[in-house]
Structure 1
Amino acid sequence: MEKNNFNIAVLIDGDNAQPKLLGAMLEEVSKYGKATIRRIYGDWTMQQMNGWKEIINEYSFNPVQKFAYTSGKNSTDSALIIEAMDILHGKNIDGFCIVSSDSDYTGLAKRIREEGIFMMGIGQKKTPKAFVQSCEIFTFSENILNVPQLKGAAEPEVIEGDLKPEKLDLAFIDKAFDISSTEGEEEVYISKLGLTLRKIDPSFDPRAYGFKSLTQLFRSLPTYSVLHNEQNPMVKREIVAAKPKPSRKLRNLKTKPNDRSKSAE
């Protein structure tokens, strides 16, 4: 199905999301489809929801009121889950995006994926791994927050943000390349490689390592090179030659400093 025809329900837990990122979150969703259903859940009588009130109309979201009748119990979670199941059974949607850092949505994410429906999550890095791994794609809000908003300017290869880039696990990259290269090809389409990286780790994001795109990330790796073509760039793994070991005869000629001093005596 083409992305333009891919309908996604964006359901936001207003108690566990950041209003200032709403526009950026919709941009993330637009990479995979269009947000046809837009809802924000919470107790709108509470002061903590004021940030959402200021922008909810700007982005065409519908507020869903859920009163917190009992202290310590989050009625927002249950309301979002119930309505998500209603949407799922309605069969009028192609995917979901749940915006929250709460592990209570883990079961919902698993249930959605069991139906063969696209499941995306957006939340902070404190989000429990169980929820992250239950999604097909999970985007950390810190990665969205760390991208500078540049208008009319060329995109920098390296992101200059407030967060320190994470250290890249090269073994993880090599593993993804091996999986993508099912028949031992030396070159792999970068789009295919990106899908594999997401399958292994739904939260994989080049922005976490200081790069705007996967292509730019691979350009920075000495063991890989990016090959461009008109439609889809490819990645090639370079063979790094091992340094030759000195011959046994040469090693025998080398003497220790102590040995030389003894012979001088």
Structure 2
Amino acid sequence: MEKDRRFAVLIDADNVSSDRYIKLILDEVSNEGILTYKRIYADWTKPSLSSWKNLLLANSITPIQQYAYTAGKNATHSAMIIDAMDILYSEHVEGFCIVSSNSDFTRLAVRLREAGKYVIGMGDRKTPQPFVVACNRFVYLEALEKNKASEIPLEAVTSLDVIKDAIKQIVDD
């Protein structure tokens, strides 16, 4: 693992629950390297996405507006793919994190790997297997959430000073 590897994180907002996963995603990719690009794609005019605003501001994620031109077609996916290729040719990153549970990104993951880039995919358990195996590494969002939930909260850990004081009291008594 190269900690100085620069990553572009591209998130399909239609496939990610903001309050559940965004922080976990960013933390996970930060373990792999530096987050150079953080972009999230959607039709931000939809009222259902208004809850994202504070989360995007707090995490310095750039929202990319993409209108749905035709019913049944996903213009957001096209915008993500075009941006990924632009970033690839800018040569500013060594890796990509594609966050989606959609197989539309399978060919993109393959192409990025062909160009020598490290590709992390993230998505739900329902993510089609072709996209999962097209990535160098794939992380299921539910597993990230489960790992986070199993961590011991800091307030449950007794500080060394408290332990030393308790031992001193026992010895002195």
- Give the TM-score range, shorter chain: 0.7 to 0.9
Match of 1:118 in 2: 118
Deviations, residues 216-265 of structure 1 (Å, cap 9, x unaligned): xxxxxxxxxxxxxxxxxxxxxxxxxxxxxxxxxxxxxxxxxxxxxxxxxx
Query: Where do residues 62-101 of structure 1 align in structure 2 (5 Å cutoff)?
Result: 62-101=62-101
Match of 2:11 in 1: 12
Match of 2:146 in 1: 146
TM-score calculated relative to the size of structure 2: 0.84
Give 3-state SS (helix, strand or coil) of 1:72's partner. Answer: coil
1:53 aligned partner, one-letter code: K
Deviation at 1:91?
0.7
Q: Say yes or no: does 1:106 pair with 2:106.
A: yes
Larger Rg: 1 or 2? Answer: 1
Deviation at 1:74?
0.8
Q: Take 1:90 and 1:150, find their aligned partners in 2: how far apart are those partners? A: 41
Q: Take 2:53 and 2:88, find their aligned partners in 1: how far apart are those partners? A: 27
Q: Are 2:121 and 2:137, in contact at CA under 8 Å, matched by a contact in 1?
A: yes
- Report how many residues are paired: 153
Deviations, residues 17-59 of structure 1 (Å, cap 9, x unaligned): 1212111111110121111100000000012322322300000
Match of 1:51 in 2: 51
Give 3-state SS (helix, strand or coil) of 2:57's partner. Answer: coil
Q: Take 1:151 and 1:90, find their aligned partners in 2: how far apart are those partners? A: 41
Looking at secondary structure, tell me which structure has more helix per residue.
Answer: 2
Q: Take 2:49 and 2:106, find their aligned partners in 1: how far apart are those partners? A: 24
Deviations, residues 134-171 of structure 1 (Å, cap 9, x unaligned): 000100001112231543146xxxxxxxxxxxxxxxxx
Deviation at 1:72?
0.8
Q: Take 1:71 and 1:2, find their aligned partners in 2: how far apart are those partners? A: 42
TM-score calculated relative to the size of structure 1: 0.56
Q: Are 2:2 and 2:32, in contact at CA under 8 Å, matched by a contact in 1?
A: no
Give 3-state SS (helix, strand or coil) of 1:55's partner. Answer: helix
Unaligned runs of 5+ in 2: 158-173
Q: Take 1:46 and 1:54, find their aligned partners in 2: how far apart are those partners? A: 16
Give 3-state SS (helix, strand or coil) of 2:10's partner. Answer: strand
1:117 aligned partner, one-letter code: K
Identity %: 46
Unaligned runs of 5+ in 1: 155-265
Q: Take 1:144 and 1:2, find their aligned partners in 2: how far apart are those partners? A: 21
Structure with the greater relative contact order (CA < 8 A, sep ≥ 6): 1 or 2? 2
Q: Take 2:37 and 2:123, find their aligned partners in 1: how far apart are those partners? A: 19
Deviation at 1:109?
0.1
